[in-house]
Structure 1
Amino acid sequence: MQSAQAVARPIGRGAKVRAAVHAATLAELLDKGYAALTVENVAQRAGVHKTTVYRRWTDRESLLVDALAEHLATDIPVPDTGAIETDLRALARSLVQTFTSPTGRAILAAMFTGAAHLPQIAAARRHVFDDRLTRAEPVIARAIERGEVPRDTDVAELLKTLAAPIYLRLLITAEPVDEATADQAVRITLAAARARALRPVYASKPTAE
């Protein structure tokens, strides 16, 4: 039986190559961690020559950032259940499911410990949040139209409030993270939104006398 790193059959170009390399990058990250991640091993696992990888990504950092951003942007679907509570519950539970999986834990380790010092990783974290914010905006817009949350609800603040308890447990306290964690985050977020505590915050400017 061939090892996990055995060279696969040649694959096509373009999107197929990109998908294969992304998958190989995440697999290497899961198996070996960020410190041992190399372009050569990724290329071998993906079944492509390393020059094929270098034509698209300049180094392992840019490759990792691209793979992480794509995986995290597409891994959590944006729900449309017809009610804000069940929409947010689906979002929060998906977040929990993603980051408690082996691959999710490896991604968190890379983004917040192993490669956290890299400017590219900081940019990737921002890209992921911005993408998720953009994709989740219709969820909040529908809730506003249904009268479930106030019209001046700040979408970004709502999503930060939803995610904060989950990330706190994952990254800081190491407490258990499960569906109960997600459901509690939803209750807190909705209570804050309905109390109008999640309105946009504008920097106040001194008025001229």
Structure 2
Amino acid sequence: MGFDGADPGTVRPGGRTARVRAAVLQAAGDALAERGFAHLDLADVARRAGVGKTTVYRRWGTVTSLVADLLADMAEQSLPRTETGSLLGDLKANARLVRRTLTDPRQGALFKAVIAAAVCDAKTAEALHRFYDVRVREWAPCVRQAVDRGEVPAGTDPHEVVRAVSAPLYYRLLTSGEPLDEAAADRAAEAAAAAARAGAYLPDR
């Protein structure tokens, strides 16, 4: 899942380059969460990470390339899909994971900052789209398994089902101001599962 821009993830894991990348991405995430995209500065990130400015400028070059790499790393580090044996159980696990991420003080602020930047920056938007594509593809097999078990109709679009779980949670985060609690996560999963069983995510509907 390559992102446009620098490609620091191709180095040997565990080496100095990997350690520098980890430190810089941690610093970039902290800075994003604290100050937002508009105030993200490569020199400040280098200072926070304890590495030379030239290293950061040479490897990432621009703020958008750095954010793209941060999102790529976050997708790689995200927890793997949970398998519970039922579609509703799997979707609840997904919803609760999304909810925990979005209510985390650092992660929630970071996502808000990146989403806000993506509205007016095409490269950041592309990086964000790729992040979510990775996460949706990670969870899509739970819907295919539900089709195999006869829980939902054959032809159900797994990507749409997974997106339907997250959508109400992001709506609460970004627009409503309502509590993003576990009950809200479970309701989102229940609604998506019910809609899938009813055939709402079949093609041409």
Q: Residue 52 of structure 1 aligns to which amino acid in structure 2?
A: T
1:50-129 paired onto structure 2 within 5 Å: 50-114=53-117, 116-129=119-132
> Residue by residue, what CA displacement relative to the aligned partner does 1:37-73 show, whole Å, maximum 9, x if unpaired?
2111111111211111122211112102221332245
- Picking from 171, 174, 185, the partner of 2:177 is 174
Task: Quote the residue 2:164 is aligned against.
Answer: 161
Q: Is the 8 A contact 1:137 1:155 kept in 2?
A: yes
Task: Quote the residue 1:43 is aligned against.
Answer: 46
Partner of 1:30, secondary structure, is: helix
- Picking from 127, 146, 149, the partner of 2:149 is 146
Whole-Å separation in 1 of the counterparts to 2:170 and 2:79: 15
Judged with a 3 Å threshold, the aligned counterparts in structure 2 of structure 1 residues 142 and 115 are, in CA distance, closer, same or farther, namely closer
> Residue by residue, what CA displacement relative to the aligned partner does 1:145-181 show, whole Å, maximum 9, x if unpaired?
2222222110121112111111111111111111101
Higher relative contact order (CA 8 A, sep 6+): 2
Shift of 1:24: 0.9
Q: Give unpaired runs (5+ residues) of structure 1.
A: 1-10, 203-209
- Picking from 135, 139, 148, the partner of 2:138 is 135
Q: Which has the higher helix share?
A: 2
Whole-Å separation in 1 of the counterparts to 2:171 and 2:16: 41
**Is structure 2 residue 33 aligned with structure 1 residue 30?**
yes
Q: Residue 154 of structure 2 aligns to which amino acid in structure 1?
A: R
Q: Is the 8 A contact 2:36 2:113 kept in 1?
A: yes
Q: Give unpaired runs (5+ residues) of structure 2.
A: 1-13
TM-score (norm 2): 0.86
* Number of corresponding residues: 192
RMSD: 1.9
Q: Residue 107 of structure 1 aligns to which amino acid in structure 2?
A: L
Looking at CA atoms only, which structure, 1 or 2, has the larger radius of gyration?
A: 1
Q: Is the 8 A contact 1:75 1:98 kept in 2?
A: no
TM-score (norm 1): 0.84
Moved >6 Å (runs of 4+): none
Whole-Å separation in 1 of the counterparts to 2:183 and 2:97: 12
Task: Quote the residue 1:8 is aligned against.
Answer: none
